[in-house]
Amino acid sequence: SYQTPHKVYERVYCTDPSHDEECNEYTGFDPSIVNIPLTDIQVRNSSLGEQAGRGLFALKTLPSDSPIGMEGHAQNFFVMPTTWDVIESTVEWVGENGITLAMSEIGGLEAFIDGYGFASRLLGEKSWSIDSGILEFMNHGCNGTANYGYHSSLTEWNADTNTLPEELDTTDSPYNIVFDRHMKQVFDSGDYTLREIAEGDEIFSNYLDYSGEVEFWEEEVMTLRGQCAGEAYGTISQYEMMKKQ
C-alpha cells in the first residue's frame, strides 16, 4: 500500500546512493554498535528539582556513541492521527461540559501522551510515539547539557522563538519509502550517548530536537525556558499536582 510500501520498492529506493543515510540506519542494526541494556539505568526523582518530576540515572558508567534499550525500539506506543483527533475532540467536550480534566480518564490519557510522547506529522496529521519502557522518563538537558540523542548546538536559550529550524520542520516531509516501512523504528531510534556517562549521573536529551511544528515552536521553547529556570512544571508534574488538589 501507499502507507506501507512493499519491500521490493525499498530495495530499489536504496540503490540510490543519496538515500544511504536512512537505508543504513533503518533497514537493520549494526552488530558492531554496543547496546546499553535497560538494566543499566534506573528511574529516580530528577536532579533538576521537583518541577522536573522523575528522571533516568546511570547505574554504571555508560560508554559513548551507544544507544540505550535498542531491544525495545520497535515496541513503542503509537497514536495514529485519527486516534489523536478523537482524544482532542473528547478533551474539548470535557471542558465544555464543566468536567475537571484532571479527574477524567481522558485527561490522564492526554497528559500521558503529551508529557511522555513525541509528536510528528510524517503521516500528514499529528501522530505520537511514546516509549513503552522507562526511557520515557528521560528529562530535558537544560543549557546544552544533553548527554543523549544526537549532537546539536540548539538550546532553549539560543533558540529563536519566531523561527523553527529548517532541519526540525516535519510539516512538509516528502514521501520516504524507508520511513514508511519502518515508522516505529524511525520514531524511537537514532539516539546515542553523546559522551561517556558516569555512574550516578542523570541522563538528559534535548527536547528541542524532537520539536517539529511551527505553530507550537514558540510555546515549546518558552516552556523549556521556564522549566530550566525553575519557574514552571512539566506536563506530568502539573497533572499529578492537579490530581492531588
Q: pLDDT digit string (tens) for 151-166?
A: 888 899 999 988 888 7
* Average pLDDT rounded to a whole number, residues 51-78: 86
Rounded Cα–Cα distance for residues 97 and 89 (Å): 12
Task: Provide the pLDDT for residue 83.
Answer: 94
Pairing of strands 41-45, 54-58: antiparallel
* 220 or 199, greater pLDDT: 199
Q: How far is CA 110 from CA 113, 177, 244, in A?
A: 5, 30, 18
* Average pLDDT rounded to a whole number, residues 51-77: 86
β-partners of residue 127 are 120
* 150 or 43, greater pLDDT: 43
- The pLDDT tens digits for 71-88 are 776 678 889 899 999 999
Q: Where are the alpha helices (DSSP H) in the chain?
A: 7-13, 20-26, 81-96, 105-116, 177-181, 183-188, 214-228, 235-244
* Average pLDDT rounded to a whole number, residues 132-157: 90
Cα–Cα nearest to 76, from 154, 236, 184, 174:
184
Q: Is the pLDDT of residue 219 over 80?
A: yes
- Of the pLDDT bands very low, low, confident and very high (cuts 50, 70, 90), residue 103 is low
What percentage of the chain exceeds 70 in pLDDT?
A: 91
The H or E element spanning position 203 is: strand 202-205
* Average pLDDT rounded to a whole number, residues 119-126: 78
Q: Half-sphere exposure of 121 toward its Cβ, with a 13 Å CA cutoff?
A: 15
Q: In angstroms, how far apart are the furthest CA atoms of the chain?
A: 59
Task: Provide the pLDDT for residue 231.
Answer: 81
Task: Provide the pLDDT for residue 147.
Answer: 96
